[in-house]
Structure 1
Amino acid sequence: MVQIINLEQEHLIAAKISGKLTEKDMEKMHPLIHNIIEKGHKVDFYIEMEDFEGYTLKGFWEDLKIDSAHLGDYGKIAFVGNKKWQEWVAKATDFFTSSEVKYFDISEKSQAQKWIKS
């Protein structure tokens, strides 16, 4: 499930994700990305993972399609979580993109929010 949260930045998509992300969850994100790009901004992401279990197969495929179409449109990405595999996902994302990507432990949530807004 994706729950959009407001961190009061027009170029930022902030979300809490939990459970398994589905194709419909990912489809919610795509128009948000386009709205920011159309205003001439790079898209920054703040992703807070709470009881996040990964993706359904269709959800993963939809995320790959969106990301491959927009990789050059992404700016900073903050991943906030509490599992080692989530930190590895952040490192892999950093490796495959030109975006500035950082992982923060859930106890560092306020630092992550400060970083993404700077």
Structure 2
Amino acid sequence: MISIQKQSDDNVLTLKITDTLTGEDLDNLVPHLKDQVNTSDHPHLLMIMEDFDGYESATAFWKDLKLDAEYIGHFDRIALVGDEKWQEWATQVINPLTKEELRFFSLDKKEEAKNWIT
């Protein structure tokens, strides 16, 4: 499930990702991503992955990868907040491949992530 929130800073799109991610969740996310990159001079993305249980199906996982590939390079900064080692590892692997500033923060550093992203 993806909860979409705008912070007081219009440059930041905040996604809270919990439970199981479905293809429908990703379909619903697309207009928000498009709006963010088209209306903000310096778009930032804050993703908070808390109690994330994975993907509903391989199709949802594949859709997420395609979405990532489509929007890579459109954000100035991306912060990923999570509690899993693989999330930190994925951030480190992807970081050299993008022009965005990309950082991982553990859940106990959520406020630090919010400050960094703005």
The alignment's TM-score, normalised by the length of structure 2, stands at 0.86
Deviates more, 1:11-20 or 1:40-49: 40-49
1:39-83 CA-partner distances (Å, limit 9, x unpaired): 253431111111112223222222222222222212211111112
Specify the alignment match of 1:31 in structure 2: 31
Query: % of aligned pairs identical?
Result: 32
Runs (5+) with no aligned partner, structure 2 = none
Runs of 4+ in 1 over 6 A off after TM superposition: none
Do residues 86 (structure 1) and 87 (structure 2) align?
Answer: yes
Partners of 2:10 and 2:40 within 8 A in 1: no
Q: Name the residue aligned to 2:100.
A: 99
* Range 60-69 or range 14-23, more displaced: 60-69
| 3-state DSSP of counterpart to 2:72 | helix
Asked whether the equivalents of residues 37 and 43 of structure 2 are also in contact (C-alpha less than 8 Å), the reply is yes
Q: TM-score, normalization: structure 1?
A: 0.86
Unpaired segments ≥5 residues, structure 1: none
